[in-house]
Chains A and B, each alone.
Chain A
C-alpha cells in the first residue's frame, strides 16, 4: 500500500464523515423542531390563559381545579367528536359570563335544554370538531364544508343578526316546528313559505305540488350541483339561493318560478331554511316533542278541503290555482302571480284583444308555455274551463252589483 492511495482514501473518508456530521446536525435540528412543536401547541396557550382568567375572577382555589390537556365531547348518537372545549374551557363555568371569548360561558337557558354532553358543539355551531387548532377548528380551512356559523360568516354575508346563520342548524331538529323560540330568522322563513304558498309548486316535507322540484331535502345538495355562471362575486351555494330567491330568472332564465320581490333579509332567511332541510341521522329523541311529521294546521286543512270540494274544484285539481285565484268560486291562489280568473272573460278581451274561447284554445305568451308543458289540458277540459270561467264571471258580476246596491 503506498501513501498516495492512503491519502486518497482518507480524503473520501473525511468527506463522508463531514457529510454524516452535517446530516446528523440537520436531523437533530428537525427533531428539536418537532419536539418543541409538540410541547407548545396553540391550545396549551389558551389553557394557560384560562387558568389565569379564572385565578383573577374566581380565585386561586378555583383555578387549581382547571383540567388541562385535550378535552373532547363524544356523542355516540350523533356521531360527533367535538374538541372545542379544549380551548373554550369556560363553557359550563359560573362567573365567566362576561369574559372574552374563547372563555365565556354558554348561555344557560339554551344549555339547559341542549346539554353539551347530548348535543356536542358542532351540530349547532358548525365548524370542525375534530380539530385542535383554531383555524382548522373554526372550519375556515381547505376541504371543510361547514365553517363556524358565527360572527365571521355573518359579517362576510352582511347579515345584521350575528347568530342568524346558526339557526340553519337549529332547524335540523326543529324542522317540523311551526315556530321555535329564539329562531326568528327561520320562523320568518317558515311564515313566508306558508304565506306565499310555496307548496303549490314544491313538495316540502312530503306535501305539495309537483310543478317545481321537491325541496324536502334541498339542504342535502352539494355546492357543485348548482350553476354559478350568472352569479356575480363569490360562488357559494348560500349566495346562489339568496340570488335565486330575489330573482329566479336571473339565474335560471327558463324557470317559471315567479319573482316575489323578497328583501335581502327575507331571501337570506329562506336560503338558510332550504339549506337546513337535510336528511340528518337524528335519533327520535332529538326531535322536539317527538314530532317528526309536518302536520298542516286546522285552518290549512279546512281551506284545502273547501277549495278541493267547492265550486272551483276544477281549477284546484288542474292546478290553475297555483298562480290564479278564482275569487267568485272560492279559489285562492297560492302565489297570486296571475290575475283573478273570475274576471277572465273581460280581462282576456282587454289584454289580448281576443275572446276567452279563442285565447284558451290557442293561448299565447306565458299561458302557451304553461299549458303546453306543465299543465296540459285536453280540448274537453279547455271547453269545461271556458264554461266554468263564464259562470265565475257571472257570479262575480252579481257580487259587484250586490255591493253597489248595498
Chain B
C-alpha cells in the first residue's frame, strides 16, 4: 500500500508542478494567469482601429516570435566557433533545406523589429500614450520606461546577432560598435574588454555574443514583454480608450437577470448595479473574440507574409570570411547605429592642438542624454487629460514638434550613413557612383 502511495506521489509530482491545495487556490490560479487575461473581454472600437495604433506593438511581438522560431531552428545548424561559424552559415545558405530562407527571414525580421519597435515608440509619444488617464491604478510612465528598455534590448539583440556569421560585415560592424563603446571616459576600455572578453574580437567575443543573443536577451525581452502587456491591462487598456471615456458621462447600467451560485444551488436574481465608463457600450465596443482575435490573426498573417516576401526579394548577404587584417572601406556599424557613427565622424574635430573626441560625444554622451530625456519625459509632461491617447494633441504641440525633430534628425543621419557614405566615409549623392573596390582577380 505504501508503495502505491509513493508511486502516486511521484506521479503527481511529475505531472503536476503545482497542485492547488484548495478551490480558492485553483480559482486564484485562473485569475492570476496573464495568458488568460492578455486581452479584455470587450474592446473599444477605437483601440481596435487601424489608424490609432497601426498595430505596431503587435507587429513587434509577431516579429519577435518569428525570430524565436527561426532562431531556434538556426541554433541546430549554426556552430558558434571562430573556425566553424562562417562555414556553418555557408552550409545553411547552400545545403540545408530552406536554410537560405530561414536565415533571410531571421535577418529581415530582425531589421524590421528594430524599425517597428522604434516606430511603436514614436506612435506612443505622438499620441501621448505614456500619460495616465483617469483609471485607478494606472502607471503608464512605468510602461513607457519598460518600452524603452525593450527598445534597447531589441537593439542589443540585433547587434549581438550581427557578429555571428563571422564574415567581414559582422567583424567590422562589431569593431566599429565596440570601439565607440570604448571611448567612454575611464571605464571605456574596460567596457570593451568586458563586451569582447578580451582586447580583440575572437572566440571569447563570439561565444559571449552568442549566449547573449540566443538566451539572455530573448529571455529578458520575453519577461519584459509580458510585464509590458500586463501593465497595459492594469493601466486601463490602450490610451485611446481613456480618451474615449473622457467625453462620455458614465451611466448606470440597469441590472440584468442573472443566476447566482448559492450554497444550496442556483438561485435566480439580478446582477449588481454596475457603473459603466462608456455610454452605449454596445455601440462603442465589440467582443474581443472573435473581432480582436480575427484582427490579430490578420496582422500575424500579413506580417509573416510580408517578412517572407522581403526575405525572398532581399537575400541575406554573406561577405568574405572575417579577416582582421583587411578593413573594408567603408567600415560601417549596423544601420541603426549609423546615425551615431555619422555624428561621431562629424564631431571628431581637430582645432589646433585640441582634439574633440567624436566617439565620446556621438557614441556616449548623445545616446545617454537621449535615453535619460526619454525616461524623464513622462514625468515632465504636464499636459491635461485631453491629450491622452490622441494623435497630435494641440496641447502637446511643442513636445511633439521637438520629438519629431529629433526623430527626423536621427532618420536623416541614418540615411546619410547608410546610403550616402562611401569609401573613406566620403559623401556621395545617390546619383554619384562609388569608386569600385579592388578585387583579387
- The chain A residues found within 8 Å of chain B, CB to CB, are 1, 5, 9, 13, 16-17, 19-20, 23-24, 26-27, 30, 33-34, 38, 70, 72, 81, 83, 130-133, 136, 142-147, 149, 153, 157, 165, 222-226, 228, 235-238, 240, 275
Contacts and interface: CB of A to CB of B under 8 A. Distances in A.
Given A16-B295, A17-B294, A24-B301, A228 B438 contact: yes
B440 A238 contact: yes
B282 interface: yes
Interface stretch (B29-37, B249-257, B323-331, B348-356): B323-331
B440 A142 contact: no
Contacts of B101: 34
Given A20-B298, A236-B439, A237-B438, A142 B317 contact: yes
A328 to B, nearest CB: 48
Given A16-B294, A81-B91, 10 more contacts: A1-B282, A26-B309, A30-B308, A132-B95, A143-B319, A222-B440, A223-B440, A235-B437, A237-B441, A238-B441
A24 B282 CA distance: 31
Nearest to B304: A27
B437 A224 contact: yes
Interface string B73-105: 000000000000001001101110110010000
Contact of A226 (B168, B295, B301, B438): B438
A38 B97 contact: yes
Interface of B: 87, 90-91, 93-95, 97-98, 101, 167-168, 282-283, 286, 291, 294-295, 297-298, 301-302, 304-305, 308-309, 312, 317-320, 323, 325-327, 329, 436-441
B326 A130 contact: no
Contacts of A19: 298, 302
Contacts of B309: 26, 30
B209 to A, nearest CB: 21
B87 A130 contact: yes
Nearest to B101: A34
A70 B95 CA distance: 8
Contact of A237 (B286, B294, B323, B439): B439
13 contacts: A16-B291, A16-B298, A33-B312, A38-B97, A38-B98, A81-B87, A130-B87, A144-B320, A222-B325, A222-B440, A223-B437, A235-B436, A236-B440
Contacts of B282: 1, 5
B439 A223 contact: yes
Contacts of B168: 143
Contacts of B319: 143
Given A23-B305, A142-B317, A146-B441, A131 B94 contact: yes
A83 B90 CA distance: 12
Contacts of A147: 441
A27 to B, nearest CB: 5
Contacts of B327: 224
Contacts of B317: 142-143
A145 B87 CA distance: 15
Contacts of A144: 320
A38 B91 CA distance: 15
B105 to A, nearest CB: 10
A132 B94 contact: yes
Contact of B298 (A23, A136, A165): A23
Given A20-B294, A24-B301, A236-B440, A83 B95 contact: yes
A81 B326 CA distance: 24
B440 A145 contact: yes
Nearest to B169: A143
A228 B329 CA distance: 14
Contacts of A38: 97-98
Contacts of B93: 130
Nearest to A139: B441
Contact of B305 (A26, A145, A226): A26
B301 A23 contact: yes
B378 to A, nearest CB: 33
B439 A30 contact: no
Nearest to A29: B305
A273 to B, nearest CB: 15
A39 to B, nearest CB: 10
Contacts of A30: 305, 308-309, 312
A143 B325 CA distance: 16
Contacts of B286: 9
Contact of B301 (A20, A222, A237): A20
Contacts of A222: 323, 325-326, 440
Nearest to A35: B98
Contacts of A149: 441
Which 5 pairs from chain A and chain B are nearest by CB? A130-B90, A223-B438, A23-B301, A143-B319, A235-B438
Contacts of A224: 326-327, 329, 437-438
B326 to A, nearest CB: 4
Contacts of A146: 440-441
Nearest to A19: B298
A224 B323 CA distance: 12
B295 to A, nearest CB: 6
Residue of B93, B95, B167, B329 with most partner-chain A CB within 10 A: B95
A71 to B, nearest CB: 11
Given A224-B438, A238-B441, A143 B90 contact: no
Contacts of B295: 16
Given A20-B297, A30-B308, A236 B441 contact: yes
Nearest to B94: A132
A42 to B, nearest CB: 12
B304 to A, nearest CB: 7
Nearest to A240: B438
Contact of A13 (B90, B291, B297, B318): B291
Residue of A1, A23, A33, A149 with most partner-chain B CB within 10 A: A23
B283 A5 contact: yes
